[in-house]
Amino acid sequence: MAASLLEYLRGLSPIALSRLYSDPHTCQAVLRALPPLSRQYLLRLVGAHGRLAAEIVGAWPLPTAAAALEHKAALEQLVALRLVELDPVGREYALHAGLCEQIGSSICLARGAQAAEARLAADEARPSVVQLERHAQRTWEDVLQCVLTPPRRLLPLAGCGGKSTLQQLLLSLRLLEATGAEGAEGAEGVEGAAARWASTRAARRFVLLPIQEQVWRLMLEYMELTDTVQPGARDATLSFLMRLGSHAVGSDCSVHSLTELQRQVLSDLLLFGIAYQREESSPRFYATPLAHALLSGSAGLATSRRSEGFLILETNFKLYAHTSSPLWAQVIRSFARVEYVLPNLVVSSISREAIRDAVESGIEWDMIVQFLERNAHPLMAANVPVLPETVVNQVSLWAQESSRMQLADAQFYDKFESIELFDDVVQYAKDDGVYLWHKRDQQHVGHSALIVAAHGHQRMKAFLKSKK
């Protein structure tokens, strides 16, 4: 699965890319998702009207090894995305004509795309960036709640023309699995639907991932799903996402400028918390910070940290979660033993059993550590290192306990008739290379015992028979 927008675009066909690059918002989003040096190169090429001799481009980096490396990576990225093409002779770099035009017009003040956008009257009750961030966070937590405890009621997705549901989307992400039949014969309806879904092992891992990665995975699957129901929906969704990402957080966009398909997609994005609309009938919608996180490159994903952390981990393995959301209590329960739950605080302790259970249910220990680090309370986040080292080390040791041992079948022999026979058998086992362990007891010969690898049993049996 493509880990970021750029990787996803790299996998698309040249025709699909060409179609995408004809949209000004997509061009802008792609530019911003590129690594910093590639961005500079792209704009230099735009400044040169799209064509530059390879010698000139080659002279851009400083003559140092680090610069040459970055230069090569930057150009490779541009070529892989088909933004830039080197002509077959290798003399000239040419920028994608459509993209060059779009970026050129957006920096050279052509009154094209931006001016055409429908103007809205001044917005009196503009939500602040903080409000939007909270809203996005809350809405996304609802989605995660659906992942962990699938709701009884089906949540239809408008982007698929109502033919598909959120549950189906999660099912194709393998976060939910259908459990058994359509419910018991008599229990049709609400109860029956509830019995049809259960969260999987992958779901428990999914909720521990960084939020951007979760959203990105969901959106990728969403695009595939909508495309199967309504051909062309993938491009519409992608360009709509790009458009959301190109708006500043907190600035309003008009619903009237959207196509019918985009309006359907919008109502799903509202469900995911990527966009925000005050009321269903409201003529404007806003992009939330999630939309921006979605479009930033992988570097953005790694460095981003939740602004409002709520976890405090102490060296005595106590974990305090300052939250009132039942979701996080549930997530914490997957790797720690919850001791008590107060209205706005969950107190739990990390123990050997809890970590072992977590590992058995498919969670890796470094995911737990990263989750704790990402959601660290500002007071704890100020520490260096963020988490107490003792706890991190102990968690890794506990997690590796089960993988330190290897099980292999073996055969156990005892009740030997004489000590001489026992010695002979032990010697034979050692010569045969199947010997594992023995206990010699001259006083009580019957207590002497020998263990050999299971695959040597047949030969040992034959040897014992020959001795009798």
Q: Which residue ranges make up the site for another protein (CB under 8 A)?
A: 28, 31-32, 35-37, 39-40, 43-44, 46-48, 59-62, 64, 66-67, 70-71, 73, 103, 106-109, 111, 114-115, 117, 245-248, 250-251, 292, 296-297, 299-300, 303
Strands 318-321 and 345-349, how do they pair? antiparallel
Q: At its nearest, how many Å lie between another protein and the CB of residue 126?
A: 9
d(CA 12, CA 3): 14
Q: Which residues pair with 437 in a beta bridge?
A: 451
Nearer to another protein, 114 or 418 (CB): 114
- What residues pair up with 177 in beta bridges, in sequence order? 198
- Closer residue to another protein, CB minimum distance, 251 or 344: 251
Q: How far is CA 146 from the centre of its chain?
A: 16
Burial of 421 (0-12, 13-18, 19+ CB in 10 A): middle
Q: How far is the CB of 103 from another protein (least distance, A)?
A: 7
CB of 89 to another protein, least distance (A): 25
Question: By C-beta, is 290 or 336 nearer to another protein?
Answer: 290
The string of DSSP letters for 374-409 reads HTB-HHHHTSSSSS-HHHHHHHHHHHHHHHH-----
39 versus 356: smaller Cβ distance to another protein: 39
Is 55 in contact with 92 (CB distance < 8 Å)?
no
CB of 22 to another protein, least distance (A): 17
Q: Are 97 and 50 in contact (CB under 8 A)?
A: yes
Instruction: Please name the residue that has the structure tokens 């966070």.
Output: 137
Q: How far is the CB of 289 from another protein (least distance, A)?
A: 10
Q: Closest separation between CB of residue 370 and another protein, Å? A: 19
Contact 453, 436 (CB under 8 A): yes
Q: How many CB atoms lie within 10 A of CB 158?
A: 18
Closer of 111 and 465 to another protein (Cβ): 111
Nearest to 176 by CA among 213, 209, 150: 150
Contact 171, 230 (CB under 8 A): no
**Of 70 and 92, which has the nearer Cβ to another protein?**
70
107 or 454: CB nearest another protein: 107
Task: Report, in Å, the least distance between residue 227 CB and another protein.
Answer: 27
Q: Minimal distance in Å, beta carbon 84 to another protein?
A: 16
Which one, 78 or 103, has the nearer CB to another protein?
103
Smaller CB separation from another protein, 125 or 248: 248
- Residue 108 Cβ vs another protein, minimum distance, rounded to whole Å: 6
The structure tokens listed for 4 are 């970021």
Which of 20, 171, 174 is CA-nearest to residue 82? 20
Cβ contact 192:183 at 8 Å? yes
Complete edge-to-edge strand list for the sheet that includes strand 318-321? 311-313, 318-321, 345-349, 337-342
CA 353 to CA 245: how far, in whole Å?
Answer: 44
Query: Judged by CB, which is closer to another protein: 56, or 190?
Result: 56
Closest distance of CB 48 from another protein, Å: 8
Residue 67 or 462: the one with the smaller Cβ distance to another protein is 67
Nearest approach, Cβ of 309 to another protein (angstroms)? 18
Strand-pairing partners, residue 412, are 451
- Residue 21's CB is within 10 A of a number of other CB atoms, namely 23
**Residue 267's closest CA among 207, 212, 222?**
222
Helix (H) or strand (E) holding 188: none
